[in-house]
């Protein structure tokens, strides 16, 4: 647990000084959204006070500075995942990125999209919507340890045009072997999309090493602001995609009888974008780079092991994660005899923030965990061993008072 100076780092997060119901805030809900360091908060204020203008459209001083800031943010994102800048498309979030692809990909009747049981609704519903034009959706199963059934990919049909999967599950915490799955899928002639919303904030991600065609993630889960996300598009296949939105700045020229569309990424960024969001995301990447993503990964792994070990000592808990070959600091669980919302309510009274319910993954929670909702504690680089101890201590009290362990 010594790879980060966490106590120093915590001083960068103003919200962690907050009291909730008279208790120090313990924020265990980073899978939903991360907290923001003052470097990002102050930076967005700086943008509005010093750079605010609409980029790419004017040649005055402020517009040129805003254009530079927007371009710099794209460069930072590209370098962060080892892509080319033109392969980075700014979107609102992971959900929009996946929906964009569901409209843009040339999928037709009898084509197959292979997704998985581990997925967030954002990587299910856009593909379900294609059923009305005859696209078939197949769901890759998981084993008792919540690992994907890799034999599916070895045996999948030649009609499979897209393989899509989460890099890290937002419920079980399973970290899937996206590199191996991508290699198999490409041999079968399928394209690969990885939902990296939970992985990019926590571990080094290299799109070239993974050899994926598309990768999507959200800024707000990695210390950045809301409303900014990223879709990586492999440049060599970008011409296979149809336009998603049409309007300003996604064209080279427009005449009444002839339109020439812009190249990647502009073709998929119609209209005025979330410029300050991109700027803020760039600052978040600066912050993570200063720490080092290997250090973030190492610390997160240590937190995960400690969290599952200490939760495992509490009788009366049902714990659903921590069993796969590789997992992150996401612990889904229930107190026997209590609904997940009740547990979350009791913890909130002690200043501990977790999430409860289906976690936008209802098929997985109902069909695989076989419960009507679950609690979820999810940790990040600003969490500590002391917080884990406090959390587990309060869980024990809840089990002893209300549970039926």
Confidence tier at 114 by pLDDT (50, 70, 90): very high
pLDDT given for residue 21 in this prediction = 95
- Dihedral of the alpha carbons of 212, 214, 219, 223, in degrees to the nearest 10: 0
Distance in angstroms (rounded) separating the CA atoms of residues 221 and 284: 10
Residues 6+ apart with CB under 8 A from 356: 339, 340, 341, 343, 344, 373, 374, 375, 376
Torsion sign (Cα): 189, 261, 83, 272: negative
Confidence tier at 1 by pLDDT (50, 70, 90): very low
Residue by residue, DSSP assigns 116-128 as ETT--GGGTHHHH
Average pLDDT over residues 65-73: 93
Catalytic (active site) residue 375: no
pLDDT given for residue 331 in this prediction = 96
Instruction: Judge whether residue 403 has pLDDT over 80.
Output: no
Question: Of 70-79, 322-331, 351-360, 385-394, where does mean pLDDT reach its minimum?
Answer: 322-331
Average pLDDT over residues 301-323: 94
Instruction: Judge whether residue 76 has pLDDT over 60.
Output: yes
Domains annotated on the chain, with CATH? 6-30+292-399 (3.90.1150.10), 41-289 (3.40.640.10)
Of 270 and 363, the one with more pLDDT: 363
pLDDT given for residue 3 in this prediction = 65
What's 242's DSSP letter? P
Average pLDDT over residues 53-69: 87
Average pLDDT over residues 329-345: 96
pLDDT given for residue 405 in this prediction = 57
Confidence tier at 192 by pLDDT (50, 70, 90): very high
C-beta of residue 20 within 8 angstroms of C-beta of residue 351: yes
Instruction: Judge whether residue 57 has pLDDT over 80.
Output: no
User: β-strand 317-319 against 160-166: which pairing, if any?
Assistant: unpaired
* Residue in the block written with tokens 């005025």: 272
pLDDT given for residue 2 in this prediction = 47
173-187: per-residue pLDDT in tens?
999 999 999 999 999
C-beta of residue 329 within 8 angstroms of C-beta of residue 300: yes
Query: Which of 89, 303, 331, 360 is flagged as catalytic?
Result: 360
Q: Is the peptide bond before 236 cis (omega within 30 degrees of 0)?
A: no
| Helix (H) or strand (E) segment spanning residue 362 | helix 362-363
Computed over every residue of the chain, the mean pLDDT equals 95
pTM: 0.95
For the beta carbon of residue 319, count every other beta carbon within 10 angstroms: 17
Closest residue by Cα to residue 149 from 192, 121, 118: 118
Instruction: Judge whether residue 4 has pLDDT over 80.
Output: yes
200-238: per-residue pLDDT in tens?
999 999 999 999 999 999 999 999 999 999 999 999 999
């Amino acid at each position: 647990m010594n790879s980060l100076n966490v106590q120093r780092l915590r001083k960068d997060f103003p919200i962690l000084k907050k009291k909730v119901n008279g208790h120090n805030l313990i924020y265990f809900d980073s899978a939903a959204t991360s907290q923001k360091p003052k470097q990002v908060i102050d930076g967005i204020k700086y943008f509005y006070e010093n750079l605010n203008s609409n980029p790419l459209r004017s040649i005055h001083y402020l517009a040129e500075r805003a254009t530079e800031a927007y371009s710099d943010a794209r460069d930072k994102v590209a370098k962060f995942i080892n892509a080319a800048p033109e392969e980075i498309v700014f979107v609102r979030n992971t959900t929009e990125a996946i929906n964009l692809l569901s409209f843009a990909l040339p999928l037709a009747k009898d084509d197959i999209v292979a997704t998985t049981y581990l997925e967030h609704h954002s990587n299910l519903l856009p593909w379900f919507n294609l059923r009305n034009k005859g696209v078939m959706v197949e769901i890759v199963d998981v084993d008792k340890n919540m690992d994907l059934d890799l034999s599916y990919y070895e045996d999948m049909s030649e009609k499979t045009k897209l393989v899509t999967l989460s890099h890290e599950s937002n419920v079980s915490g399973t970290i899937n072997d996206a590199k191996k799955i991508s290699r198999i899928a490409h041999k079968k002639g399928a394209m690969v999309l990885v939902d990296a919303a939970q992985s990019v904030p926590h571990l080094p991600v290299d799109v070239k090493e993974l050899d994926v065609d598309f990768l999507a993630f959200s800024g707000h889960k990695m210390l950045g602001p809301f409303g900014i996300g990223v879709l990586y598009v492999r440049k060599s296949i970008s011409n296979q995609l149809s336009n998603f939105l049409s309007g300003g700045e996604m064209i080279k020229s427009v005449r009444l009888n002839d339109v020439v569309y812009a190249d990647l990424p502009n073709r998929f960024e119609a209209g005025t974008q979330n410029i300050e969001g991109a700027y803020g995301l760039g600052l978040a990447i600066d912050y993570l780079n200063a720490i080092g993503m290997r250090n973030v990964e190492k610390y997160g792994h240590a937190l995960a092991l400690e969290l599952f070990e200490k939760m495992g000592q509490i009788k009366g808990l049902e714990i659903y994660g921590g069993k796969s070959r590789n997992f992150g600091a996401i612990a889904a669980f229930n107190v026997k005899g209590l609904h997940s919302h009740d547990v979350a309510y009791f913890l909130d009274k002690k200043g501990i923030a977790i999430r409860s319910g289906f976690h936008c993954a209802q098929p997985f929670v109902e069909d695989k965990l076989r419960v009507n909702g679950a609690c979820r504690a999810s940790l990040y680089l600003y969490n500590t061993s002391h917080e884990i101890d406090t959390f587990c201590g309060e869980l024990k009290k809840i089990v002893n008072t209300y549970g039926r362990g």
